């Protein structure tokens, strides 16, 4: 939390269910940060590096039950290790702000707390791969499940494997993100994603203004 913003980069993750508005809000925040003259790198998980993107395809397409819980988590973490090494760490070293669309909290929520793997295994993988290299700030966009499914259903892409797991699972995922935020209130901020795009963007800006005001000043 003591990262000096100007000299060593800053790492932000966005989390939340599908359709919560992560991609939309990341673009808006990146634009606001670029206006201060900062380099901003937008990236995503699973993916974010050539190896990570190859693994993304294995994870997000196909049948809902195509991977066992442990295989799924190991693939997520294989992608994450590559993403950290090849994309995130080099950018932070240059002094950039890195904004990632999903990170380790998604594995804890989807596979650990809401899925069948359990949190102990996910914590072990986290400690092995991420440890002290995690985000400085995590924005959790919170939205009722039906709203999110309505919004993301409108995009009609091929990457529907997790959406296809059903509403009860998605509700567990939503609660899991809220639980993660309760456990780590210093790193995480829950932002309601229910209102219009500009309102949500304003709330995210307020979180940053309050916690890391130096990020939004020149
Ligand atoms: P995510 O990346 O979390 O899945 P997106 O940013 O892709 O979510 O948003 C999903 C869909 O919902 C997009 O069509 C987007 O334009 C729309 N959307 C995003 N934010 C809002 C909002 N606050 N109100 C209504 N629609 C929204
Ligand atoms: Mg998205």
44 lines ligand 1 (CB under 6 A): no
Taking every pair of Cα atoms in the chain, the longest distance, rounded to a whole number of angstroms, is 48
Mutate to test the pocket of ligand 1, among 21, 27, 160, 202 (most ligand atoms within 8 A of CB): 21
Residues with CB under 5 A from ligand 2 (ion): 22-23
pLDDT recorded at residue 42: 98
* Ligand 2 centroid, distance to 12 Cα (angstroms): 15
Q: Taking the model in full, what pTM does it have?
A: 0.94
Joined tokens for residue 200: 């949500």
Atom of ligand 1 nearest to the CA of 20: 3
Q: Is the CB of 23 under 6 A from ligand 1?
A: yes
Residue 158 confidence (pLDDT): 73
Q: Is the CB of 19 under 6 A from ligand 1?
A: yes
186: Cα separation from own chain's centroid: 16
Which long-range CB contacts under 8 A does 35-38 form with residues at least 24 apart?
36/215, 36/216, 36/217, 36/218, 37/218, 38/96, 38/97, 38/215
Half-sphere exposure of 185 (CA within 13 A, CB side): 1
Residue nearest to atom 19 of ligand 1 (CA): 21
Give me the architecture of the 10-211 domain, per CATH. 3-Layer(aba) Sandwich (3.40)
Distance 2 CA to ligand 1 centre (A): 32
Q: How far is the CA of 112 from the centre of ligand 2 (A)?
A: 21
Distance (Å) from CA 145 to ligand 2 centroid? 15
Sequence-ordered alpha helix ranges (H) in the chain? 5-8, 22-34, 50-60, 69-83, 89-94, 104-107, 119-129, 145-153, 167-183, 197-211
Whether residue 160 is preceded by a cis peptide bond, meaning omega within 30 degrees of 0, is: no
> What pLDDT is stored for residue 38 in this prediction?
96
| pLDDT tens digit at each of 218 positions of the chain | 444 444 589 999 999 999 999 999 999 999 999 999 999 999 999 999 999 999 999 999 888 889 999 999 999 999 999 999 999 999 999 999 999 999 999 999 999 999 999 999 999 999 999 999 999 999 999 999 999 988 987 556 777 787 777 889 999 999 999 999 999 999 999 999 999 999 999 999 999 999 999 999 97
| pLDDT for the residue 29 | 98
For tokens 């808006």, the residue is: 28
């Amino acid at each position: 939390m003591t990262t000096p913003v100007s000299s060593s980069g800053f790492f932000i993750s966005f989390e939340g269910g599908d359709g919560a508005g992560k991609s939309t809000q990341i673009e808006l925040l990146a634009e606001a940060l670029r206006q201060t003259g900062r380099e901003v790198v937008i990236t995503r998980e699973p993916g974010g590096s050539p190896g990570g993107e190859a693994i993304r395809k294995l994870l997000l397409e196909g049948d809902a039950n195509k991977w066992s819980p442990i295989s799924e988590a190991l693939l997520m973490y294989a992608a994450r290790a590559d993403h950290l090494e090849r994309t995130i760490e080099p950018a932070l070293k240059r002094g950039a702000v890195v904004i990632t669309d999903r990170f380790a909290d998604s594995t804890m929520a989807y596979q650990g707390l809401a899925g069948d793997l359990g949190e102990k295994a996910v914590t072990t993988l986290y400690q092995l791969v991420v440890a002290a290299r995690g985000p400085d700030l995590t924005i959790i966009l919170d939205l009722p499940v039906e709203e999110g499914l309505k919004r993301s259903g409108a995009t009609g892409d091929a990457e529907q494997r997790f959406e296809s797991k059903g509403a009860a699972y998605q509700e567990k995922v939503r609660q899991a993100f809220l639980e993660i935020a309760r456990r780590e209130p210093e790193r995480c901020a829950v932002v309601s994603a229910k209102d219009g795009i500009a309102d949500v963007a304003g709330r995210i800006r307020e979180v940053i203004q309050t916690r890391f005001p130096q990020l939004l000043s020149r």
